[in-house]
Amino acid sequence: MKRIVLISFPLVLLSAFSLAQGIRVNPTGVNVNSQGATTVFLTFGGLTNYRAAEACWCGSLIPATPDIGLKCDSATIFGCLPARYDLSERSGTSAYTDIMSIPPSVARRAYQAAASGDESRFIYVRRFVSTVGGPDQFVNVTCRLTGGGARVPFALTDVKLAFASDAPVLFVKLGEKLPQIRAEITYNGTGRLKGRWEVVMPGQELPSERDLLTEATLPVEERSRQRRYSEVKRFNEFLPPSGKYVLPGPDPARLPNTVEGQYLVLLRVEATDDREGDSNLAAVGDANGVAHSGAVAGFPLPVLRYYIGGESAQARVKTETPTTVIPADGASLPSDKPVDFRWTDIPGAAAYRFEIQDSQSKNILSAILLPGAGSYRAPSWLKEKTSDGRLRWRVVAIDGNGNLIAESAWHNMRLIP
Amino acid sequence: MRTGQFGASIPVNGGFEVDPSTIPDQVSTNQSFAAEWQFNKIRLGYRFNRSFQDNRQIGRELTDLRNVVNGLTLAINPLRELDLNFELSSEDANNRQIARTDQTLRLSCNLNWRTTPKSVLALSLWNTGVGSSGGISNSRNTEFDLQWSWRTAIEKDRFKKLQSQFFVRYSDRFARSNDLVFLVNSISRLHTLNTGLTLTFF
């Protein structure tokens, strides 16, 4: 009997120790923004026979006996992780990637408690339920109240995509240039924001909700599996610890506009190195490495829609050209009399450039004329600019930006003495 | 631009006394340069950016990050109907604490050719390669899009017309990712063929 007790005692002690060790988390403490939302990438390890349950924030802890760990003192709970913010999921072999999104209301309550004399920190507690009837485990992370700048994990807390025109859904005619795009980003911490602007073309499969998450929000093994779309521009910008940044969008001329239909502009943010947001997977017994999670976000990034439809006036203009009327092609005119040129207008032209060249194709006259004029009288010195009297002329239509939109054919003429 | 942030006063029992490295103390510098040249049918642009995050917290003096970005863009309009865009960029991210440098090289090419007033051919090609020092991880993404659209319009008068547009698009996406630390080794390839017909009555 004594022998059985002697053998079984260390086994009980070992099992009790391993049970007590249980689920671990990394990082175990983070700095958070006391005046707004905070998002942190956490990894829990050792979840064999356990599944994640609810997560709450509170001011103090009490023993969870008969369960394992320390749980929230119900008198000091500031709030629980809303289901809509819960992007957590199983990862690796027996780990759990948790995106801790602290709502501003929780930070506010923690700040008020600290201002009234409590400790200037609060605790995030995640409960894990045994799937084999064992005791629950409570694992906690300390949240230290700070200003939200340096030393806080680099995380996006709000992103607004907009056209410069402030139109939520923009209708643009075929071939027309789109307005400038920008992304207004609110964030914690500091670091590199890098990624891509992409466009979902008409007919393409739409991105899923997980495709719209920033790369750092996903477990490492899932990051390379996000669906990619037509890339328009790449960006890599440094965001100082100031909390707000306006990221300029791609050159509007590069946005596709040649096919009718709905387009979606996506902001794809890649994970960057950020020491404050690192999660050491080795520390939780899941893998030998550190998951970098710079630019984590607790929400799918918004998309910007625009519609291309109908034919623009500019596109129509491209199919029409100014019609030259007088003088007719190949006409011979007396050089001692004024020469009048006439043509018909086209829609969409902001101005016309009237050009005359000599027989060597050298420009000898060029004039800018407003629409509606439809005629031009050549100056008296025109005949002096040509040695053989042979000339050719045309009219070029230009738009409001000075771009050439249409041109007439060259018409030959001759000045005879 | 140079920005410095440090904890001027430390809250009592805020958790900072346990680990002084949690008290913010960082100086960051950000330097940018951009230039653009416009010629008759050519536009050339160059962009440089360097940032350095100098962490000065006790015990974390070496957790510094340095990033350098170089970008070159070239736009050519050899014909009125043809637009060509090329882009080449390199990114260099150095993490001093773990002595690791990640390099990204990206090349892209876009062509937009209005073959006739009614049809447009668009071609895009991107290639992005990422590699880290010591060959710990690397990845490559290659993407190719080819699209042709054709448009017709029957116009009887100002208010009676029928417009249609047909397009066909082929996309090829290739992605390979390899990470020796996390034992991630994935290859994915996606071929897509899209066609569409739009009819507009008004």
Q: Is the pLDDT of residue A410 over 80?
A: yes
pLDDT at B168: 94
Same domain, A202 and A239: yes
On chain A, the residues whose CB falls within 8 A of the CB of B25 are: 150-151
Asked if B57 contacts A182 with a C-beta cutoff of 8 angstroms, the reply is: no
Whether the CB of A230 is below 8 Å from some CB of chain B: the reply is yes
Does the beta-carbon distance from A258 to B147 stay under 8 Å?
yes
Reported in sequence order, the residue ranges of B7-58 that DSSP labels E, i.e. its strands, are: 25-38, 42-55
Residue B57 is classified by DSSP as S
On chain A, the residues whose CB falls within 8 A of the CB of B98 are: 290
Nearest CA of chain A to the CA of B108: how many Å? 9
pLDDT at A323: 62
* Calpha distance B106→A406 (Å, rounded): 37
Same domain, A98 and A126: yes
Q: Is the pLDDT of residue A30 over 50?
A: yes
* Calpha distance A168→A303 (Å, rounded): 10
Same domain, A170 and A307: yes
Please check whether residue A17 lies inside any domain of the structure. Answer: no
Does the beta-carbon distance from B147 to A201 stay under 8 Å?
yes
Across residues A93-116, what is the average pLDDT? 91
Whether the CB of A275 is below 8 Å from some CB of chain B: the reply is yes
Q: Is the pLDDT of residue A69 over 50?
A: yes
Does the beta-carbon distance from A289 to B182 stay under 8 Å?
yes
Mutate to test the interface with A, among B26, B53, B55, B188 (most CBs of A within 10 A): B53
Which CATH number do you get for residue A160? Answer: 2.60.40.3880
Mutate to test the interface with A, among B23, B31, B48, B51 (most CBs of A within 10 A): B51
Please check whether residue A291 lies inside any domain of the structure. Answer: yes
On chain A, the residues whose CB falls within 8 A of the CB of B151 are: 174, 311
pLDDT at B52: 93
Residue of B71, B87, B78, B73 whose CA lies nearest to B43: B73
Same domain, A105 and A160: no
Same domain, A269 and A229: yes
Whether the CB of A240 is below 8 Å from some CB of chain B: the reply is yes
Least confident of A230-234, B48-52, B177-181: B177-181
A7 versus A399: the higher-pLDDT residue is A399
pLDDT at A324: 62
On chain A, the residues whose CB falls within 8 A of the CB of B117 are: 318-319
On chain B, the residues whose CB falls within 8 A of the CB of A201 are: 147, 169, 194
Closest-CA residue of chain B to A199: B145
pLDDT at B160: 59
Residue A348: domain span:
319-416
Across residues A263-279, what is the average pLDDT? 90
Q: For A350-395, how does the pLDDT look when each residue is reduced to its tens digit (9 = 90+)?
A: 888 888 888 888 888 888 888 877 788 888 888 888 888 888 888 8
The residues in A 136-165 lying below 8 A from B, measured between CB atoms, are 142, 144-147, 149-152
Number of domains forming the structure of chain A: 3
Q: Model's pTM, two decimal places?
A: 0.76
The answer for residues whose C-beta is within 8 angstroms of residue A413's C-beta and 6 or more apart is A327, A329, A330, A331, A332, A333, A390, A391, A392, A393
Please check whether residue A15 lies inside any domain of the structure. Answer: no
Q: Looking at A314, A334, A359, which one is the last position of a domain? A: A314
Please check whether residue A16 lies inside any domain of the structure. Answer: no
Q: For B14-67, how does the pLDDT look when each residue is reduced to its tens digit (9 = 90+)?
A: 778 778 888 888 899 999 999 999 888 899 999 999 999 898 888 888 888 899
Q: Is the pLDDT of residue A12 over 70?
A: no
A374 versus A125: the higher-pLDDT residue is A125
The answer for residues whose C-beta is within 8 angstroms of residue A355's C-beta and 6 or more apart is A363, A365, A366, A393, A394, A395, A396
Please check whether residue A8 lies inside any domain of the structure. Answer: no
Could you tell me the two tokens for A116? 């009234």
Please check whether residue A9 lies inside any domain of the structure. Answer: no
Please check whether residue A18 lies inside any domain of the structure. Answer: no
Q: Please state whether beta strands A95-102 and A89-91 pair in parallel, antiparallel, or not at all (unpaired).
A: antiparallel
Reported in sequence order, the residue ranges of A46-136 that DSSP labels E, i.e. its strands, are: 50-58, 61-63, 68-72, 77-80, 89-91, 95-102, 121-130
pLDDT category of residue A318 using cuts at 50, 70 and 90 = very low
Please check whether residue A368 lies inside any domain of the structure. Answer: yes
* Calpha distance A140→A124 (Å, rounded): 5
pLDDT category of residue A322 using cuts at 50, 70 and 90 = low
- Nearest-by-Cβ selection for B30 from A240, A260, A272: A240
* Calpha distance B31→B13 (Å, rounded): 38
Across residues A7-36, what is the average pLDDT? 66
pLDDT category of residue A91 using cuts at 50, 70 and 90 = confident
Same domain, A305 and A225: yes
Same domain, A293 and A189: yes
Q: For A165-223, how does the pLDDT look when each residue is reduced to its tens digit (9 = 90+)?
A: 766 667 888 777 788 999 999 999 998 999 999 999 998 889 998 999 999 999 888 88
Same domain, A210 and A242: yes
Q: Is the pLDDT of residue A136 over 50?
A: yes
pLDDT category of residue A8 using cuts at 50, 70 and 90 = very low
pLDDT at A117: 87
Quickly list DSSP for A222-254.
HHTTS---EEEEEEEEEE-TTSEEEEE---GGG
Q: Is the pLDDT of residue A20 over 70?
A: no
Least confident of A27-36, A167-176, A280-289: A167-176
Same domain, A349 and A278: no
Q: For B119-169, how does the pLDDT look when each residue is reduced to its tens digit (9 = 90+)?
A: 999 999 999 999 988 788 889 999 999 999 998 877 665 555 778 889 999
Same domain, A294 and A367: no
Give the count of Cβ contacts less than 8 A between chain A and B.
171
pLDDT at A7: 42
Q: Looking at A268, A285, A314, which one is the last position of a domain? A: A314
* Calpha distance A205→A224 (Å, rounded): 18
pLDDT at A128: 93
Q: Looking at A268, A298, A314, which one is the last position of a domain? A: A314
Residue of A219, A60, A24 whose CA lies nearest to A138: A24
Does the beta-carbon distance from A192 to B192 stay under 8 Å?
no
Which CATH number do you get for residue A129? Answer: 2.60.40.10
Same domain, A299 and A404: no
pLDDT at A321: 59
Same domain, A108 and A202: no
In chain A, % of residues over pLDDT 90 = 38
